[in-house]
Amino acid sequence: MSASLSGLLKPWTPRVFLVRWTRYNPYYLEPEVRKEAYSRPETALSAEEKELQELKETRPIKAAPNSVTSSVFHDPVISKFINMMMKNGEKFLVRGIMADTLELLKRKQVEKYHKAPPEKKEEIECNPYVIFHQAMENCKPVVGLASIQKGGKYYQVPIPLKDSRRRYLAMKWMITECRENKHRRTHMPDKLSQELLAAWMMEGNVIKKKFELHKMAEANRAFAHYRWW
Amino acid sequence: MALHRLPYRLRHTVTHVRSLHTSGCGQQQEAVSVESQSEPFSVFRTHETDPACHSEKHIGQHYTLPSAHIHTLFPHGLPRRYQEQVKTFNEATVMVRQPALEVISYLKKTDYSKPAVRYLFYGLKGSGKTLSLCHAVHFCYTQGWLVLHIPDAHIWVKNCKELLPSSFNASRFDQPLQATEWLRNFRTTNGGFLSKIKIKQRYVWTKREFTEEGSLLGELVNQGITRVKSSSDVVGAVMKELRQQSGQPGSDFRLAVAVDSVNALWGRSTIKKENKSAVDPEELTLVYNLRKLMRSDFIGGAVITAASHTGSLYTSKSNYLPQQLLGEKGFDSMDPFIPVSVPYYSEKEFDSCYLYYMDRHWLQHPQSRTEEGKKELIFLSNRCPSVFERICGYL
């Protein structure tokens, strides 16, 4: 509702300035973080972009969050994973864990690479980011289940999932699996790298969980028409 | 400076030609033709494995430590992250840098009939002091010297699990575990010398155990390893024997004493006595004997040390200069010494390290291979070797 009212809002600045909030007055504009956007010459901008530039001179802009950088190494998927792993707001600790995980992944693969005979070298994937993204993709379920009430009983109905929900489920399963089902004395980077490698090879408990969800959805196919959206 | 790697078919010819190399410095004629052919392949790498032949033109290049040397010479000498890197890359390479070259050139030219010179590597955290020390120690080893390498003096003044009162002197304390471990590593490094050097004094350990004059050093070391209780005194005896015998007309060996984190010897310790009062490092037998070696009153050798803040106790984070780390007492004992500053990478050295990581497939992020990524790496690490290594670890 507030989004439709944004056109009616007059130029307004609050008496108390909000800094670093997640909820802003819709009058505020999004910040531009990418370096390339500032190095473009005047002529390269189209009409809408020129309009946007002029708007930015008068309207207030939201504060950029700390986790968003203009670094060339910034990866939104990894940022989301780090935020999900974080406990009690200790971002620094979790970023260290993520860095150690990626390093461990890379170390295992590079060691394999250097010990392999030349004809096998091409097949070994050493990039930890590629392995991470592929493992996440492999863990994402295609359909999910929703609990829908019909005639006094609750049925588990298969439903399509939004992309964000699929990503959330994959990451949540990965983190809970590593936290709960592994040996108590191993460190999180070891557990995570082991599970990520297994997921990349389509093995491991997270992939099993995804396939069980798919089987449940397939089994409850008959109730699919209970979904009304 | 985009270097293109040799195409695969040429690389086979290069490796074939490389087998013509003979060891030793006198390989210039054959080397010239090979070097010019493999020039684009090895700007960051040199085939010269002998530290004695390293010179200014090798600065910035990586040379490979032979794996046999690593197992004998560095059973305990290399930093932990470097050991992991050796395991991952399947080879151990060290960059030839100016501070190590300077010390090696001094070592080549010293007059060994005069008392030993003391060298001290100092620098900011992570600038490469320990590896420069290892480079110098490798030089000494390849020249056939006897290497007395204490990888980290800080482990002798903290986290002591067993502290025994010394049998030799009631006011001092023994550390049997650390002493036996060091003796074991000493035996691995200097196996050859243990059967040649004879001790010149009779040592009595207990009522029934003694080592006769004229028996081999190897027996003394084995005595220390098997009889754990007297191992700290054995360490002291070994140091004393080597100190007295090096450079003498009868013995044919030169003594290289390499101590990393030498500021631990004159700092404070976290070991507590039973009445909860702190132990002064001087009261520890190992530290006491090592300080006597640091006096460098022996001839025919050298003392190469490094002062590091990592692992040091009760020192402020901004301390990195020798006077700040050694303290007054330490500086007075070490004075006069030759301080060698170890700076961060220069531009050429950084480029060489970057290319080495690319060659070993360590920089995997696609953006890290672009110019933008490289500029960002320089900004993030400030060309500090250890920070650069940590950043490249997860990229």
ipTM metric? 0.85
Is B90 in contact with A72 (Cβ distance < 8 A)?
A: no
Round to whole Å and give the CA distance between B75 and B130: 15
| Tens-digit pLDDT profile for residues A91-106 | 999 999 999 999 999 9
- Express each pLDDT in A177-186 by its tens digit: 999 999 999 9
Question: What type of residue is B209?
Answer: E
Mean pLDDT, range A154-160, rounded to an integer? 95
Report how far Cα B301 is from the mean position of its chain's Cα atoms.
16
State whether B367 and A114 contact (CB < 8 Å): no
For residue A120, give both structure tokens: 């096998």
Rounded distance between C-alpha atoms, residue A177 and residue A208, angstroms: 11
How does pLDDT run across A52-65, given as a tens digit for each residue?
888 888 888 888 88
In tens digits, what is the pLDDT along chain B, a chain of 395 residues? 444 454 444 444 444 444 444 445 544 444 444 444 444 457 888 888 888 898 888 899 999 999 888 999 999 889 999 999 999 998 999 999 999 999 999 999 998 888 899 999 999 999 999 999 999 999 999 998 999 999 999 999 888 888 888 888 888 898 999 999 999 999 999 888 888 888 888 888 887 888 888 888 888 899 889 988 889 999 999 999 888 888 788 778 889 999 999 999 998 888 888 888 888 888 899 999 999 988 888 888 899 999 999 888 888 989 899 999 998 999 999 889 999 999 999 999 999 999 999 999 999 999 999 999 999 999 999 999 999 999 999 98
Close Cβ partners of B381 (under 8 Å, ≥ 6 residues apart): B387, B388, B391
Q: Which two tokens mark B36?
A: 């010019």
Number of other CB atoms surrounding residue B7 within 10 Å: 7
Identity of the amino acid at B355: L
Q: Is B393 close to A103, i.e. CB distance below 8 A? A: yes
Which residues on chain A are in Cβ contact (under 8 Å) with B360?
Answer: 110, 114
pLDDT of the residue at A220: 94
B373–chain A Cβ distance below 8 A for any pair: yes
* A39/A124 Cα distance (integer angstroms): 38
Q: Is A128 in contact with B394 (Cβ distance < 8 A)?
A: yes
Q: Are B168 and B161 in contact (CB under 8 A)?
A: no
Which helix (H) or strand (E) segment is A178 a member of?
A: helix A163-180
- Report the range of poorest mean pLDDT among A78-92, A163-177, A184-198, B290-304: B290-304
Which residue type, as a one-letter code, is found at position B133? L
Mutate to test the interface with B, among A110, A121, A131 (most CBs of B within 10 A): A110
> Smallest Cα–Cα separation from B310: which of B344, B377, B261?
B261
pLDDT of residue A56: 86
Q: What is the token pair recorded at A6?
A: 């944004």
For chain B, say whether A74 makes contact (Cβ under 8 Å): no
Looking at residue B30, what is its pLDDT?
Answer: 43
Instruction: State residue A18's pLDDT score.
Output: 60
Look at A126 and B395 and tell me if their CB atoms are within 8 Å. no
User: What is the C-alpha radius of gyration for chain A, rounded to an integer number of angstroms?
Assistant: 23
CA distance A112 to chain B (A): 8
Instruction: Identify the band that residue A2 occupies on the pLDDT scale cut at 50, 70 and 90.
Output: very low
Pairing, β B301-306 against β B117-122: parallel
pLDDT of residue B163: 87
* Chain B residues 81-120 within an 8 A CB cutoff of chain A: 84, 87-90
Identify the three-state secondary structure at position B281.
Answer: helix
Instruction: Name residue A65's amino acid.
Output: P
pLDDT of B245 reads 87
Which pLDDT score is estimated for B213?
A: 85
